[in-house]
Amino acid sequence: MIGITPHPGGTLVERALVLLREAPRSATELATSVLGLPGAPPAVAERLAVALLGADPRVRQQADGRWAVVAAASGSPLLEECAFAVVDVETTGMRPAEDDRITEIAVVVVQGNRRELVFESLVNPGRPIPHRIAELTGISQAMVDGAPAFGEIADQLLQALAGRVFVAHNARFDWGFVGAEVRRARDLALDGPRLCTVRLARRLCRGEPSYGLDALAHRFALEFPSRHRAAGDAIVTGMLLGRLLDAARERGARTLADLETLHQTPMTEFRA
């Protein structure tokens, strides 16, 4: 299946694959983030990476020495065939691995001409919402006190994500929170392709003064139904994704593998 899938987490190879799906990594980065060995000598890190990943057909070592997930272009779906799950979360703060939690989440499916809000829910974070966050989002403590806990909506959310490409504006943030909540609620790790509309916009809309969602919405004349609420932001991010997919096609992208290659291209190598 091409798309997000939950699986039991914990093995070192699985942790490495999750990291490599974000971007190629050096052996030193893998030793630090996957094996918990910061400061390992490069030669030692390389031997460990080979032992961990050398026989895995899903991974290859690039010419520059970094490790990367193999993009199976021959079996990659056309962009028109891909279903993208555009996600936005509102949270109590910035630290998903610590004590911050999701307060609202929404998923918009983008597939061809389809743009549909398929999931939306407030979430009881089980902790107070800081005043500054409540002011920014308009989500008060009273609004979430009667909302379901994440564990109560986890199955519905996983169904909305299943088999689709995860997309968000600053995807590391949203993926980090969703992944942490799913791990706590179901002891599952999420895996699968994901795209960041910030990263894509930097490669396809060169020279913009800002790549924040407000700035890009203004550039493409996209209107928010509600700003800093999960559904409103996900809807606009979905519209932005549509514009970026059009721009990617103009660059010659035809398949998901083409889009992932564009998404992973370092800015130093990208040509306008």
Positions marked active-site = 228
CA 112-117-122 angle, 5° bins: 155
The DSSP annotation for 12-68 comes to: HHHHHHHHHHHS-B-HHHHHHHTS--TT--HHHHHHHHHHHHTT-TTEEE-TTS-EE
Question: Whose CA is closest to 137, among 21, 255, 216, 229?
Answer: 229
Length of the chain: 272
How far apart, in whole angstroms, are the C-alpha atoms of residue 32 and residue 29? 5
Indicate the pairing of strand 59-61 with strand 67-69: antiparallel
173 Cβ partners below 8 Å, 6+ apart?
89, 94
CB 124 within 8 A of CB 97: no
Q: What is the sign, positive or negative, of the torsion defined by CA atoms of 169, 175, 178, 181?
A: negative
Task: Say which residue the tokens 């020279």 belong to.
Answer: 207
60 Cβ partners below 8 Å, 6+ apart?
67, 68, 70
Mapped onto helix, strand or coil, the DSSP state of residue 117 is: strand
